[in-house]
Structure 1
Amino acid sequence: MNFELSYGSHLATKLERSQGYMQNAGLEAVMIGSGVQEPIFQDDYYHPYVVNPFFKEWLPLLQVPNCYLLIRQSGRPSLFFHKPLDIWHKVLAMPDDFWTAHFDIVEYADANQLNKLFSPIKGAAAFIGLPEAMPQINGIEWQLNEPALLNHFKFYRACKSEYEQQCIELANQQAAKCHTAAKEAFMAGASEFEINQAYLGALDLREQDMPYGNIIALNENAAILHYTHLQKQRLNHSRSFLIDAGFSVNGYAADISRTYCREESEIGVQFMRLISELDKAQLALIDELKPGMHYLDAHKDMHRRVGDILQTAGIINIDGEAALAEGITSKFLPHGLGHLLGVQVHDLGGWQQDEAGTNQEPPASHPYLRLNRKLQSDMVITVEPGIYFIEPLLAELQASSQSVCVNWQLVDAMRPFGGIRIEDNVAIKKAGNENFTRKYLPH
């Protein structure tokens, strides 16, 4: 995929918007740090380096700490590229890629040299990043992580440029290859660890290449929402498999979930039917999403659909509308329907209603919803409904007055399968949404 033209447009839009904000706010300069590699306490090793997301939304320089992006009220942005003198570690050279021609690039070796290279800033200056990454430049008192500036960046990050959408689509295309390899490993009876190895091996990846820790859950482990244990022992019988795993292109993530079953007993067939019905409901809901719709309404709509699926399956004896009103569906689907997706898997700004930073938290009945604002064209979101059999939540339901609405014999039969999650990455469009995931990974 050729990023040359789309990246130039992406950067120009960000620069124009940011410089307009700076002029209105009286900021002469904004500096964004790529981040630092943090040491492990009382050790001479370091935690894995993770680039500052506010930095990588400007440029895909992902593996080099101690770099700095400088934006002034006018003109081209500058990149101070850290190239230390180091006999112990590999020192990366400045890339020559599709994005580099858009920056004035200066290499520096140490902090003292950076100070000498810095041209004067006469007015107010802001820094975005960890406090320990903030450079000490003579005559500059940085405003550190000024909230109004962060709110500006977070709010506009929600809608993705053509370049960003290209990155996310390509990440989905590549992740689909890994998901297919993982499914094949599950069907062959592999352990969780072996399935994860198959996922990584499909594209010769390392764990640190992933945008988040892969969730590879067999049987009951699929009821643990963020399960990352990866058992090495093969099971005598792996009934079900929930995978939530992604890929990253230029720092932009894919975030995809699928659930499979290879149990052919009567209860296994019923569980497969639950997977199929949830899959149909998810696709139907995606078709109905549109600019101007509030995502909380879509979330509640999915709960009604889940309730109807549970009723049809004989798991509950009331319809989806009643199950939502009674709080029953939240015991089977405790998390939110989805979230913004981009340079962060859970991209920031999901509760933010405007550029000023007005937040609207979700209602107490749906506290884990990460996206609580109206959809806009070119937002890229995840849509990830689920049906789970989670022991603590089932215990709460069984102890409540709503217990009479549940077929506990059937629930007990479903517990060994853990749960279901189906997640696609979707760009909201006026003329019909674009499902990046289904292009490459039909269920």
Structure 2
Amino acid sequence: MTQASLMRTLDANSADFEQELQALLATDLTVSGNVNSTVHAIIADIRARGDAALVEYTAKFDRWQPSAASDLELSKTALAEARARISEPQRQALEQAAQRIHQYHEHQKAESWRYTEADGTVLGQQVTALERVGVYVPGGKASYPSSVLMNVVPAKVAGVAEVIMVVPTPDGVISDMVLAAADIAGVDRVFAVGGAQAVAALAYGTETVPPVDKIVGPGNVFVASAKRAVFGQVAIDMIAGPSEILVVCDGQTNPDWIAMDLFSQAEHDELAQSILLAYDDEYIAQVQASIERLLPTLDRADIARQSLTSRGAIIRVRDLDQALVISNKIAPEHLELSVADPDACLPKIKHAGAIFMGRHTPEALGDYCAGPNHVLPTSGTARFSSPLGVYDFQKRSSIIYCSEQGASELGKVASVLARGESLQAHAQSAEYRIKD
């Protein structure tokens, strides 16, 4: 390993590469005992005291005093007014993004189905939407209207009857862009609450906040810990780790573009990870030079620098095939295939949250307006997880409708298996339906 330029450089063909790669990817996502104990205490308090506790935590953590829990709910008029206040370009961008996200997710809708066997037995699956979903939207260090669209629109496409949004309001301030996005996406109710207390309110309900069936959306370590704690009472989307990007480049893309694509994740936070796989030493040097030159131009340069220095890397590979093998080992959240023929690579990609094809498809387009969801599996969980989608807001019930003849034939099979498991009532229940 060398420390060339700002980002470390690894050689995929060195003897100790596997150990170096594992060290690079290692992330300590352990939540401290203090965080967990604080979160569990807050959840217990919300369950015990409901609205009263919710008001107290809002005053304590967001530094404004609601006179009653009803003050925490924002009216539909407030959302419409925020939509009117933002600039016309902002409004058009949100509306266009929402339309594209909606159009994409329409393709994900599952439909109920059934088939009839020869003896008249009917088997199938009934698909129904969740009734009520809670969406957590960050509102602390930054506001994310794109997160509103990405979490709410697929729920609405799925047919969720009621979407409840919670958003923290430090010092009583809330982003007009976030409220406008809520209005555009069709959020049904919005509460100005955040943190573990908001998650607890969504999971268990209070006098004012209704309980939901599922909680989605990103948040800080307290929110993530609370989501983990209430899982089982409600469903959750995922426990997300730091944001990641992996760029595979054949050396023909403008190095400034690649540098900025790496920055697009590094500027999120110090734990974000940006990795480049390339197989041309001269090109790697060009990208390193672009990184050094462009980094000082970022508003969040200090954050990006820390991210690139501590968790970023350029990996020198032998060829494109080796790059794809390593990509599958990493299973990145975002994978950019900045190569001449990305379609040829696609069959070899086994693990990735989202795949950005070609030189003209930066990850940033996926974050905002391409259409696919930007809520993606992180920390290698793309090996077994998928992006947030309509299917996360639908559930499936099996349909079994036996004819008299079908019940008789199936009863014979069930009887043998049930008695093999020493479950007499199961066996006799099936045997009652066997025709003599």
TM-score in same-fold range (> 0.5): no
Higher helix share: 2
Tell me the TM-score normalized by structure 2.
Answer: 0.30
The one of the two structures with greater contact order (alpha-carbon pairs below 8 A, sep at least 6) is: 2
Greater Cα radius of gyration, structure 1 or 2: 2
Question: TM-score, structure 1 length as denominator?
Answer: 0.30
